[in-house]
Structure 1
Amino acid sequence: MGSDREEIFKKRKGKRKERKENNRKLAPYRYLIVCEGEKTEPNYFMGLRDKINSKYKQSIRVEQQIEIDIQGTGRNTNDLVRYVEEIVNRSPVYYGNVWVVFDKDDFTDNQFNSAIEQAKSKGYKVAWSNEAIELWFILHFEFLQSAINRDEYIKKLSQKFRDLGYGKYEKNIKNIFDILTECGSIDKAIDRAKKLLKMHGDVPASKMKPATTVYQLVEELLQYIKD
């Protein structure tokens, strides 16, 4: 009986070790994308995820962070980074690629820069926009270097969407990825975003307006669906 128990224990231990090793091997292809917004950013990345899964069935998970309240609550973008850390620590799987997605909006320069540095110090990558994700959307259609705010981004997008026959731009459009890539150019958006960063030079992210590093995440994911 004793030898049987030992044999069963060894088999279970071997299986656990095998699962752990497989988990580690899959890590480079497993993404965790945590967004500040509840719908706009997740909808965009879910659209990209669906394109990838339809071809490679890769495991890319988009986490929707509860919307961060910036109306005098004292919370800031660092809360999002802490939330990401909680997900990573409690997850039974290994994520080889952890991305945090957030906008500057009305956060102070210090809050914005601090959140970026905090995320990087933990090994996370940051897809930030100064001042909003809508800048990245606009770059699918045109190069924009004027330091306008989110409301003006939305006005420009609404006009573009009306011209295309989609009506007013809304933040919760589920097929936003398809609209932008079919009616605009994701490759040109990447090139335009790179051009903006280069124009700003070596200054803190809070001083780069307009600018976005969302293209870095998009470019990385596109490698799975481009030949």
Structure 2
Amino acid sequence: MVQAEAAGFKVAYSNQAFEYWFILHFEDHKGGPMPRADYHNRINGYINPLGASYDGKGNKTVTSAFFDALDGFDTVKRETRIQLAVNRAGRIHGQCKKAGISPAKSESCTTVYQLIKRFLKYR
């Protein structure tokens, strides 16, 4: 990551795995350890009732039904799930930075929200 940034590239990471970003669309996780083995069941627990599924142990394909679930509206929070995930990830990332925790040690944390914020400008 240091080399990429030194070369002028921005880096989006998700530690322990990219699936953590998916979970933040549905769950207000506070950061800290979450076993990677739990990701698959957690994700499906949220998206199966919405008519989608995720094979996190196989090809890890994000189907259109899964994407629609991620892009949906949370009627309880009254926000889009993407905005909820952006806010949650930003808060957790800020906590990690404030505590001086390196990306390699910042479990669970993601900076994918920074990339998504850029994409949302063109929506």
Please indicate the TM-score interval, normalised by the length of the shorter structure.
0.7 to 0.9
Partner SS state of residue 104, structure 2:
helix
In structure 2, the partner of 1:37 is none
Residue 217 (structure 1) aligned with residue 115 (structure 2): yes
CA distance in 2, matches of 1:183, 1:172: 22
Give the counterpart letter for 1:203 in structure 2.
Answer: I
The answer on 1:131 being equivalent to 2:16 is yes
Question: Is it true that 1:174 corresponds to 2:63 in the alignment?
Answer: yes
Q: Is 1:152 aligned with 2:53?
A: no
How many residue pairs end up in the alignment? 109
Q: 1:193 aligns with which of 85, 89, 97?
A: 89
Distance in 2 (alpha carbons) for counterparts of 1:174 and 1:153: 17
TM-aligned CA deviation for residue 174 of structure 1 = 2.9
- Cα-to-partner distance string for 1:21-50 (whole Å, 9 max, x where unaligned): xxxxxxxxxxxxxxxxxxxxxxxxxxxxxx
* Aligned equivalent of 1:208: 106
Query: CA offsets, 1:191-222, max 9 Å, x none?
Result: 00011112222221112110000000000111
Task: Specify which structure has the higher proportion of helix.
Answer: 1
Q: In angstroms, what is the RMSD of aligned CA positions? A: 1.6
* Percent identity of equivalent pairs: 36
Contact 2:14 2:109 in 1 (8 A): yes
How far apart, in 2, do the equivalents of 1:151 and 1:158 lie? 13
Counterpart secondary structure, 1:207: coil
Partner Cα distance (1:221, 1:135) in 2? 19
List structure 1 runs of 4+ shifted beyond 6 angstroms: none
Which amino acid counterpart does residue 126 of structure 1 have in structure 2? Answer: V
1:141 equivalenced with 2:26 (yes/no): yes
The structure whose residues are more often strand, as a share, is: 1
Alignment TM-score, normalising by the size of structure 1: 0.45
Q: d(CA) in 2 for partners of 1:123 and 1:153?
A: 32
- Distance (whole Å) between structure 1 residues aligned to residue 73 and residue 33 of structure 2: 24
Which letter does structure 2 place at the counterpart of 1:148?
Answer: M
2:3 corresponds in structure 1 to 118
Change (3 A) 1:143 1:152: same
Please identify the structure whose Cα radius of gyration is greater. 1
Q: Report the Cα distance in structure 2 between the residues aligned to 1:119 and 1:126, rounded to whole angstroms.
A: 7
Q: 1:153, CA displacement in angstroms?
A: 1.2
